[in-house]
Amino acid sequence: MNQTHRPAALIFDLDGTLLDTEPLYTDAAQKVMDPYGAVYTPELKRKSMGGDSRVSARLAIDHGQLPLTVDEYLSQREEHLLHLFPDAAEMPGAGSFIEQLHGSDLPFGLATSSHRHLCDLKLSRKPWGRHFRKIVCGDDPRIKQGKPAPDIFLICADELGVDPSACIAFEDSPNGIEAASKAGMKVIAIASPYIERSELAALATQVIDSYEELASLLNHWQAG
């Protein structure tokens, strides 16, 4: 599928793609590590972004040699995150772009590694959060493997009733881009301070700094 061709659907990641939550995750992870003198490094962040939460927790525990189980780590991290998520900032132009899509006939869904209760919390104060036709979360029992496996994108495409190869996915991490690519989708990457732009460009069809850059492409899709 050529990117300029009208896609059958658009599928979005959430963290770092529509909402600027990645700094919140970093701060919360560091707070869990602080009592043990460990540091949540940029390299650890890069490996963890966009992936399954339990895998990311195990990476952090092993890296910091933390005397915690995966469940204990995630529970402690969540304590720090719960009061931060509702006010998470939007990525540049994200809310307006979703509102524009809502006014079009292009179907779009959300495929996020976040568990459902956290996804709902993040979107609770975002009016555009109600516009997704389908939302698939990381704790969906149909997902056998998290990102970078393609499961969540394949499920979301199926929920939308479209061929995955006719979809465009929006992602911000190598794990997420790999997952969408394995599902057969083209990928537009959102620039991230945690990932070299050249790395994103090597994996995705296009890298953008703001959704405003896609205004003409969206108009083209709508006209098509």
CATH code 3.40.50.1000 region(s) in the chain: 9-20+87-223
- Which are the catalytic amino acids? 13, 15
pLDDT digits (tens, 9 = 90+) for 154-170: 999 999 999 999 999 99
CATH of the domain spanning 9-20+87-223, picked from 3.20.20.140, 3.40.1280.10, 3.40.50.1000, 3.10.20.30? 3.40.50.1000
Residue 13 backbone dihedrals phi, psi, to 5 degrees: -75, 170
The class level of CATH for 22-86 reads mainly alpha
pTM above 0.75, yes or no: yes
Where in the chain do CATH 1.10.150.240 domains reside?
22-86
What would the pLDDT profile of 37-88 be if each residue is shown by its tens digit? 999 999 999 899 888 889 999 999 999 999 999 999 999 999 999 989 999 9
Asked whether residue 181 carries a pLDDT value surpassing 90, the answer given is yes
Q: Which band of pLDDT confidence, cut at 50, 70 and 90, is reported for residue 222?
A: confident
- 3-state SS record for the chain: CCCCCCCCEEEECCECCCECCHHHHHHHHHHHHHHHCCCCCHHHHHHHCCCCHHHHHHHHHHHHCCCCCHHHHHHHHHHHHCCCHHHCCECCCHHHHHHHHHCCCCCEEEEECCCHHHHHHHHCCCHHHHCCCEEEECCCCCCCCCCCCCHHHHHHHHHHCCCHHHEEEEECCHHHHHHHHHCCCEEEEECCCCCCHHHHHHHCCEEECCHHHHHHHHHHHHHC
- pLDDT, tens digit, for every residue of 106-142? 999 999 999 999 999 999 999 999 999 999 999 999 9
